[in-house]
Amino acid sequence: MSLFDLAGRVAIVTGGSQGLGRGIAHALAEAGADVVVIARLPEAVTQGSERPHAAVDGVVEELRAKGRRALGVTADVREEDQVNDFVEKALAEFGRIDILVNNAGGSWGESFTKGPILEIGSHDMIEAYRLNVVSTFLCSRAVAPAMFKQGKGAIVNIASITGQGPCPGQSSYGAAKAGVISLTQTMASEWAPAIRVNAVAPSLVETPHRAKGGGGDVEATMLSTTPLARIGTVEEHSAAVAFLASDAAGYVTGTVLDVNGGRGA
């Protein structure tokens, strides 16, 4: 059996109904995993335009068409009771949880905005932390008992290049993603050897809704300092996640895998 084969395994992907999350769900399914897709409903946002949150039904149908078992659950990963509920549903449906991908996150949203430090408030910083770090903490802690009982599990967190250095204009997001990286390393240390915990740190990802939050000068600057001189695809980032979730990365834990076109090289 290939070390990349995920047949017989069950994965949970948060924020999995669209964009990078949808791509990750497909990549895991194509490797053989059955997938639980978590997403929440759309609401009005502080940026003045609706941030799209696609329903889970479409992705679930796509995964089933690939011959995989799939379950969709509408939930908010910032709320502990809702996180515990979808983990219970996953276990009731599949009997196990082998992989968790903490993909849900963002630099702005329904409850907060982004901007230079002097243009945001403490509320924006706190809400960015809740969406990116607290959600990762809650989801990981909820699946850990099942993984320990099985004696094996893999968690992949979606970090960001913004959490690895200065991030002008996105201070709250950068600080939150730095928190995701630190949490990844601590979980990897505390939960070894049963559970491997790693992170993927993207730069720019080409998704249908990428422009919703605004790119402008920041994006142009990022591209100008990217040796590969282009934005990464969903498929390229999803493949990195699938690798870390598989036995091919069986000796990899506490690592941040940069998928950034060479920025910082």
Q: Sorting pLDDT into bands at 50, 70 and 90, what band is 222?
A: confident
Q: What is the CB-side half-sphere exposure of residue 135 using CA atoms within 13 A?
A: 29
Mean pLDDT of 19-38: 97
Range of the domain at 15: 10-259
Domain total of the chain: 1
Question: Which residue has better confidence, 200 or 1?
Answer: 200
Share of the chain above pLDDT 90, in %: 78
Give the alpha-carbon dihedral of 101, 143, 99, 146, to 10 degrees. 180
**Is the pTM of the predicted complex or chain greater than 0.85?**
yes
- Is residue 210 in some structural domain? yes
Q: Sorting pLDDT into bands at 50, 70 and 90, what band is 49?
A: very low
Q: Sorting pLDDT into bands at 50, 70 and 90, what band is 207?
A: confident
Check residue 32 and give its pLDDT: 98
- Is residue 5 in some structural domain? no
Round to whole Å and give the CA distance between 29 and 36.
10
How is residue 4 written in tokens?
């990349």
Active site residue 129: no
Query: What CATH number does the domain containing 184 carry?
Result: 3.40.50.720
- Is residue 264 in some structural domain? no
Mean of all residue pLDDT scores within the chain: 91
Residue 233 has pLDDT above 70, yes or no: yes
Check residue 204 and give its pLDDT: 82
Distances 205 to 99, 201, 261 between C-alpha atoms, Å: 22, 11, 10
Q: Sorting pLDDT into bands at 50, 70 and 90, what band is 42?
A: low
Q: Sorting pLDDT into bands at 50, 70 and 90, what band is 125?
A: very high
- Is residue 3 in some structural domain? no
Q: Which of 112, 173, 191, 243 is catalytic?
A: 173
From the list 32, 19, 131, 147, the residue with the least C-alpha distance to 87 is 147
- Is residue 160 in some structural domain? yes
Do 41 and 18 contact (CB within 8 A), yes or no? no
- Is residue 40 in some structural domain? yes
- Is residue 94 in some structural domain? yes
- Is residue 265 in some structural domain? no
Q: Name beta bridge partners: 155.
A: 100, 197
Residue 212 has pLDDT above 50, yes or no: no
